[in-house]
Structure 1
Amino acid sequence: MTAAAPEAGTSTPDSAPPRPLVGWRLLALFYDFWPSLALWMLASLCFTLAYTVAGHHDPHDNIAPLSGLQWLLWLVCWLLSGVYAVVSWRRGGQTLGMRPWRLRVAGADGGAPSWRALCLRYLVGTVSLLVAGLGFWWAWIDRDRLAWHDRASGTRMMRMEKAQR
């Protein structure tokens, strides 16, 4: 007797979950830009109010370009985005942008990754974006479809099966 082949779209217990395509990763990143933008706007408002209350400038003027305060604001915005991503990955393996595409971050063994691994993932992911997204495009030629931040942190992005109704 022969065993019945699994239906299309399902995985067998010994098969690995499908790896997400680069396009799905980029779409999830685009979706996650919007909650990050909201956090950046909130941070900018706090900086502007603090700078104005301290009496350093007229509230209608912008923060001086490339001043120390502007660099601090950039750092705070980057950290806020990192907190959003790392906490989301740690709590459920997904950010808001990853949910529509059924993407999930997991450790190499399939379990929950450590805080350290997730922070490293965010740091290397930032570098990947800063070099024109080369770290993301790398997944096209990688045999396991892993981006730089996947390899460096020991995490994996997986595509979950479609929920049955």
Structure 2
Amino acid sequence: MSSKKKIVRRLLSEAEIARLPRAGLLRRLAALLYDMFLVFAMWMILGFILLFVFGLFADNTSELVDGRVQTHPVLSLLTLAMMVTSAASFYLWFWQRTGQTLGMIAWRIKALRTDNQSIPPKQGLIRFVAAWPAFWLGGLGYFWLYVDKNHDAVHERMSGTKTVLLPKDARPF
């Protein structure tokens, strides 16, 4: 006989979802790290495609000038636009579809509107755009959850969303 307990996954009711606690900072950052690996892999693939396509139509995409590599300015702008657009699309698709990216599934957290519904594109875009300075300004936007009465980060307050911790027996989707 096996002494391991089998966990039965279940869907949460609306009342249970409303009572879920907010996710802590370390869980959020761990999920962000997982997602960063996925987004970086996506950028690598899209970057290779962009370089291949751009290389077909333009000579000298990069040059060595005074010991420094200089990339064609159009290619640099296209790369930046591709990176921002693909990262936004990644998060918006997952948040709108299930409320969870792959990193969020692994760490049992879920992003929802404050009324416990899935995040629509407009709110998701506000959340995504506001999260960048929240993270890059020394994480101050994330540390705000220790000050906020609901334990929300700044980008969640701005977008009307929240990040909750799911119980172990909850189904990820």
Q: TM-score range by the shorter chain?
A: 0.7 to 0.9
Q: TM-score normalised to the size of structure 1?
A: 0.82
Structure 1: give runs of 5+ residues left out of the alignment: 1-11
Tell me the number of residue pairs that the alignment of Structure 1 and Structure 2 aligns: 153
Distance 1:111 1:96 in 2: 19
- 2:63–2:70 Cα contact (<8 Å) kept: no
- CA deviation vs aligned residue, 1:77-131 (integer Å, no higher than 9, x gap): 1110110011001111100000111100111111112211111100101121232
* Pair 1:131 & 2:137 matched: yes
| Whole-angstrom distance in 2 between the partners of 1:56 and 1:82 | 31
Distance 1:15 1:47 in 2: 44
Distance 1:117 1:16 in 2: 22
2:102 is the counterpart of 1:99: no
Query: Per residue, is there more strand in 1 or in 2?
Result: 2
Q: 1:142, 1:35 → 2: CA distance?
A: 30
Determine if contact 2:61/2:75 at 8 Å carries over to the other structure.
Answer: no
1:43-92 Cα deviation digits (max 9, x unpaired)? 21022112211142278979724824213212211110110011001111
> What CA distance in whole angstroms lies between the structure 2 residues aligned with 1:84 and 1:50?
22
* % identical equivalent positions: 24
Q: In the alignment, which residue of structure 2 is the partner of 1:18?
A: 21
Two-structure CA RMSD over aligned residues (Å): 2.5
Q: TM-score scaled by structure 2?
A: 0.79
Q: Which amino acid aligns with 2:156?
A: D
Unaligned runs of 5+ residues in structure 2 are 1-14
Runs in 1 of length 4+ with deviation above 6 angstroms? 58-63
